Structure 1
Amino acid sequence: MKTEIHLSNSDLPFIEITVYYNNQSLKLAHVLVDTGSSSTILKLDLVEEIGLTVELNDILGTISGVGGSEFVFFKTIDAIEVNGFRIQNFQVDIGTMNYGINIDGIIGMDFLLRAKGIIDLNDLILTCKQ
């Protein structure tokens, strides 16, 4: 199966994703596709709505990037879906994501590698294969 996902026609490549966790789902409309991020990160303020909150047994970590460092916790979600393309049992980082831009999350290389992603910057299309 091959799925084409159209990236936003803006300065940065944004897509919409759906997160599935504990029989609930949540659409995140402003998620950055970032080949410079090793992991997929979701904004805590938004995903709390479906129960993605820190618990006593969660593993905590720190991520660093151009914008600095922040503490995150790791969760395995039931699935992450982009335009009908779904990856089951996917680990994500959850953090505050106060980066100074309107962003709901980041799709990182972990997702892109599992999706066998190909990014066509000329036509602004992310192709995922299973």
Structure 2
Amino acid sequence: MKSIIQLSNSDLPFIEVTIYYKNQSIKLPHVLIDTGSSSTILKLDVVEEIGLTVELDDVLGSISGVGGSEFVFFKTVDAIEVDGFRVENFQVDIGTMDYGINIDGIIGMDFLLHAKGIIDLNELILICKQ
């Protein structure tokens, strides 16, 4: 299966992602593709609407980047879908993501490697080849 996803025509490569969790779903319109992020991260304020909240048995961790560090918790979502390309039972990090820009999440290298992703900056597309 091969999917071609159009990237936003802005300074940063944003895409729309749909998250499925416990028979609910939510569309996240401002998700950044970030090859510098090892994991996929979702913004707590947005995804708690479908029940993606911290629970007593959740594993906690921290992530660090150029903007600093923050605490996250880990969840496995039923699926993550990008323009018809769907990955089932995918682990994501969930955090506050207070980065000073309008962002709903980050697609990291974990998803890109799983999808065998190719980013074509000339055409502004992400090709998922899995």
Q: TM-score range by the shorter chain?
A: over 0.9
**2:86 counterpart letter in structure 1:** R
Corresponding residue number in structure 2 for 1:103: 103
CA distance in 2, matches of 1:79, 1:116: 17
Give the secondary structure class of the aligned counterpart of 1:62: strand
Unaligned runs of 5+ in 2: none
2:81 maps to which residue? 81
CA RMSD after TM alignment: 0.3
Q: Tell me which residue corresponds to 1:126.
A: 126
Normalised by the length of structure 1, the TM-score is: 0.99
What's the counterpart of residue 51 of structure 2?
51
AA aligned to 1:65 is G
Displaced runs of 4+ in structure 1, greater than 6 A? none
Q: Distance in 2 between matches of 1:38 and 1:124?
A: 22
2:20 aligned partner: 20
Does 2:92 correspond to 1:92? yes
Name the aligned partner's letter for residue 101 of structure 2. I
Identity, % of aligned positions? 84
Report the Cα distance in structure 1 between the residues aligned to 2:30 and 2:20, rounded to whole angstroms: 17
Instruction: Report how many residues are paired.
Output: 130
Return the TM-score normalized by structure 2: 0.99
SS at match of 1:46: helix
1:109 Cα shift? 0.1
